[in-house]
Structure 1
Amino acid sequence: MLWVALLIATAPPPPRARSTAPSAPSASAEALQGLALWCLQFTPRVALMEDVAVVMEVEASLRLFTGLEALKARISDEAPDLGVQGVAWAPTAMAALIMARCGVLDLGERLLQPVLDELPLTALSAAAAHAETLSRAGIYTLGQLRTLPRGGISRRFDAQLLTALDQAYGLRPQPFSWEALPEHFSVRAELPSREERAPALLVFARPLLMQMCGWLAARHAGASGFTLRWVHDSMRAKDAGDGGELTIRSSEALRDLEHFTRLLAEHLAKIELLAPVGELQLEALGVERVSAQSQSLLPQSLSGGESMSLVLERIAARFGAERVLQPYQVDDHRADWATHWAPATLRRSRRQPEVPELPAPTFLLEQPLKLAVRDHRPHYQGALLLLVGPDRVEGGWWDRLPGMSLTRHVVRDYWVAQSPAAGVLWIYSTRMDDGEMAWFLHGVFA
């Protein structure tokens, strides 16, 4: 088995040999629970230890995260942002916690026993309570404690000391109460000091976003957005209100921490706080299951960077959603009005267009071009040869022009035609108001 212990920053510093350490203060419950939520993305076997650390068993998860070294690098890189001050890897949870307190990352090439034997007695909580008594007998390290007669230890001290010592060395199993994954994500964090500038809230909101992305990964899900709420300090002006909130939505469900962070930074830059903020709250919105990231060796994009939809979201966050538009298809068989434009950040259901009887052109003209007709044949850079058609498109009586009684009703017969100079074209014939039959160029095939 392989355990990793993450010591929260509010825990006391690593104890030193030949010194008596005071009892360890409990870490913030919110900080521990948030760290446990983040850890659940790596393994379901996550537990709290002694109100100062989170431990998790990751042996079965190594292959999923491409090996031990890759997992170590990721945890060492991300965990400090969640308030972790010590990380250690060991075959038992108790040993990992002891090593984290002493700043020992892992065993290296050595066995567990010689590594623990050198560590100070006070690194084991059950022994720290008796450190003064043991120091009078010249016992300062775990190795020295282990050499004492077991019968004498059990008679002189409480039973927890011998139990904890055996659990550290792997001689006795250690029971755990595993952390459960909540159905909904909603967390809060009290700021260490009151903050008056909205952009500065990003520093405190990022750990909450990390917890949310960890929770989403554990659920194999993504979120289409989140709501960040802030609570004003009690010493505020009466007209400032209790606080404020900011809701950010994405065009697709995802769990990309960096993208969420950039979006939040863009929005916070436009906000002016009415009073100092003392607390933040974060809630995930639009949670839905998403497919796992491909593990293929082939690249998923040519540039290897952000997708276009994520780039558009960041641009819209900075300049306004109404200035960044994207096309989307609607259920309309008339080519002129089958494409609408909307803000790029709006999520729209994707439908599969019906397969037309004629092939669709690559380019559509913004306004159809009326063609010359000679000897009852349409001309465009020469006489056109009709290849495929006709395909009747009729309708639009329901599409009334704004403020007018006219509608966009059309009756057209579409053809695929060949021009001797312009290539393959998409043309149609229709009857004009005076009854004359006319031909129009509407699209060009690549």
Structure 2
Amino acid sequence: MLWLHIHFPLLALESAFIADTRPIPKLLLQPGAQKVMQCNEQAEQLGVRTGMNKKTAFCLLSDCAISDYDANTEQQSLQQLALICYRQAAQIAPVEPQGLLLEVSSMLPLFNGLQDYLQRLKKRLDQCGFSYTLSTGHTPACAKLLAEAGIELHSESENSHRQALLQLSINQLNLPEGICRKLAGMGIHTYQQLSELPRKELGYRFGYDLVNQLNKLEQDNQKLTSFTLPERFQQTVHLSYDAEQARGLIFPLRRILPSLEAYLYSRQLACEKLLIKLEHRDGRASLISVASVKGSYRQQDWLALISTRLDQTRLISPVISLTLRAKSFVALKSYAKDILGSRHTAADKDRLQSLLVARLDETQVKTLKTVADPRPEVASQLQLSHSQSTDYLNRQWPSLLLPCPKPIQMKHYEILSGPERIEGGWWDATPVRRDYYIARKGVQLCWLFRRDDGQWFLHGYFS
């Protein structure tokens, strides 16, 4: 089997500053110990190193952003990344705290080889904004060690994996520090040297744990805890700054939307409503609702709706965290596509209607519905955009009706088809009895009707 391990070396740091795009040094501190647990490239260029005391690091920096390590935030980000990769793995397992393990050998027949598979996977990962290294391996432990060592080996060859392992040092094998010191004292500094020693003697001298660790590198017999899709989608982002404007929430929300799309598509669902809960600096909470008329799963659709909705929102107080929750799911449906590209699809209509609702509110946007009534002026009615309607009529009626039929002289029109007898209205005391015709006046197609008294009227135009 072929395994792929994705290592996210700065997952905790990048999760803590997910909404902070400032190009300044950023430090993640270990709670209690007040030591630098992780730092970004800007901090490293100024001399900051992992494990350095906080006060020493501050002496090297004129300006920086700091945050404490939060295991829950790191774990949530790993789950989010698992959602992103879910569609491209037959089996996926989170390797806490900073890795994902994917079984890819059974997926390669669906792609044009390993390189095409990796190219598509990297495209998804790049949308998340987390730094990563990935490597293949003939065992899960092999792929993990190579990825954590920064060796990006993309090969299906077991021999290539074994040769890459021989380059690792003892300190890169995730062995206990005591064993590493003893091995170094014996003059053993690389995995190649270690692999040449008899396993029986190693077990006698260092214990079973060392032998078991080495066997994992060579044998694909490990039990994994597979990732399963959660029952609901909900993710929280703690901001490293106070967002005073609603537009300032777009960037952290943008980072969540790829995992929302992956979740919905994996479940073959579309979402009709997103709820954004805002936690404010003064302790209050507020709720923003964003609706999609027919539901959507695409992140670009939701980003447009969220941006429009936030443009109309005024915050009651600066925001320190937000939670995005999806609700009101419907089955995912595919829209028919226009091969020639000359027509707007039903999906375009739904997106435009959703944007209008986001900008104007649900109560201000109405659509046409048809009812089972033969009278044209009654058959089409207005309804709220989120209401469900049934199309009862399937007739060649014009798209534009005049507010009131207009008396005309028939000599100016040329009849093309008809008559179509429409009679009804006795049930609500407004009866009609008309014969409708399709006629032409110049280049304009018109809809005419004649009453029993012989009077002609213009009632609408065909577009």
Band of TM-score, shorter chain: 0.7 to 0.9
Structure 2 residue 43 is the aligned partner of structure 1 residue 2: no
Give the aligned partner of residue 381 of structure 1.
412
Distance in structure 1 (CA, Å) of the matches to 2:334 and 2:3: 25
Q: What is the alpha-carbon distance in structure 2 between the residues aligned to residue 176 and residue 297 of structure 1?
A: 45
Give the counterpart of 1:132 among 158, 181, 188: 181
> Of 386, 390, 395, which residue of structure 2 is paired with 1:351?
390
Distance in 2 separating the partners of 1:124 and 1:420 = 86
Cα offset for 1:55? 1.6
Aligned to 2:143: 96
Structure 1 stretch 277-286 or stretch 194-203: which is displaced more? 194-203
How many residues align structurally?
407
1:163-312 equivalences in 2 (<5 Å): 163-169=212-218, 171-233=219-281, 236=282, 241-291=283-333, 307-312=348-353
Distance in 2 of aligned mates of 1:153 and 1:250: 63
CA contact (8 A) 2:85 2:124 kept: no
Instruction: Tell me which residue corresponds to 1:144.
Output: 193
- Structure 1's 155 and 50: CA in aligned 2 closer, same or farther, altered over 3 A? farther
Residue 104 of structure 2 corresponds to residue 58 of structure 1 = yes
* TM-score normalised by length of structure 1: 0.76
Q: What's 2:25 paired with? A: none
1:68-79 correspondence runs (5 A): 68-79=114-125
SS, match of residue 37 in structure 1: helix
- More displaced stretch, 89-98 vs 101-110: 101-110
Distance 1:282 1:117, change over 3 A: same
Structure 2 unaligned blocks of 5 or more:
13-36, 39-49, 52-68
Question: CA offsets, 1:383-422, max 9 Å, x none?
Answer: 758x533422312754xxxxxxxx7x24132333556967
Question: Which residue identity does 1:369 align to in structure 2?
Answer: K
Partner of 1:16: none
Mapped partners of 2:237, 2:422: distance in 1: 63
Cα deviations by residue, 1:61-84 (Å, 9 ceiling, x for unpaired)? 445567644442343233255464
| Per-residue CA distance 1:118-155 (angstroms, 9 max, x = gap) | 13333332466633332233333333322222112222
The answer for the alignment partner of 2:88 in structure 1 is 42
Displacement after TM superposition at 1:426 (Å) = 3.4
Q: Is the 8 A contact 2:277 2:322 kept in 1?
A: yes
- 2 CA distance for matches of 1:422 and 1:57? 65
In the alignment, the residues of structure 2 paired with residue 5 and residue 159 of structure 1 have an alpha-carbon distance, to the nearest angstrom, of: 26
Determine the C-alpha separation between the residues in 1 that align with 2:240 and 2:437: 70
Write out per-residue CA displacement over residues 407-441 of structure 1, whole angstroms, 9 at most, x where no aligned residue: 7x24132333556967875332336xxxx553223
Partners of 1:195 and 1:159 in 2: CA distance: 54
CA–CA distance in 2 between the matches of 1:382 and 1:177?
Answer: 77
Query: What is the DSSP-based 3-state SS (H/G/I as helix, E as strand, rest coil) of the residue aligned with 2:351?
Result: helix
Q: Which runs of 5+ in 1 are unaligned?
A: 14-20, 373-378, 399-406
- Give the letter aligned to residue 200 of structure 1: G
- Give the superposition deviation at 1:290: 0.9
Matched, 1:156 2:205: yes
Q: CA deviation at 1:44?
A: 5.4
2:433 to 407, 412, 415: 412
For 1:163 and 1:196, locate their aligned partners in 2 and report how far apart those are by CA, in whole Å: 54
Deviations 1:165-197 (A, max 9, x none): 33333x241111112222222232333444444
- Distance in 1 between the 2:70 and 2:324 partners? 27
Q: Which amino acid aligns with 2:11?
A: T
The letter of the residue matching 1:416 is: Y
C-alpha change, 1:107 and 1:388, in structure 2 (3 Å) is: closer
Residue deviations 1:346-396 (CA, integer Å, cap 9, x gap) = 33435343344xx43465445422133xxxxxx2415758x5334223127
> Is the aligned partner of 1:371 residue 2:402?
no
Q: C-alpha offsets along residues 21-75 of structure 1, whole Å, 9 cap, x if unaligned?
A: 99x9968222222222333333352212143212222333445567644442343
Instruction: Check whether the contact 2:6–2:100 (CA below 8 A) recurs between aligned residues.
Output: yes
- What's the CA shift string for 1:279-300, capped at 9, x where partnerless? 3212111112213689x99677
Q: Is the 8 A contact 1:412 1:428 kept in 2?
A: no
Q: Secondary structure at the match of 1:224?
A: strand
1:115 alignment partner AA:
A
Aligned partner of 2:450 in structure 1 is: 429
Q: Is the 8 A contact 1:26 1:52 kept in 2?
A: no
Counterpart Cα distance in 2 of 1:269 and 1:141: 58
What residue is the counterpart of 1:375 in the other structure?
Answer: none
Q: 2:331 corresponds to which letter in structure 1?
A: R
2:370 to 309, 323, 329: 329
SS of residue matched to 2:459: strand
Q: Which has the higher helix share?
A: 2
Report percent identity of matched pairs. 22
Equivalent position of 1:438 in the other structure: 455
Within 1, Cα distance between the matches of 2:339 and 2:176?
53
Q: What letter matches 2:408 in structure 1?
A: L
Q: In structure 1, what is the equivalent of residue 21 of structure 2?
A: none
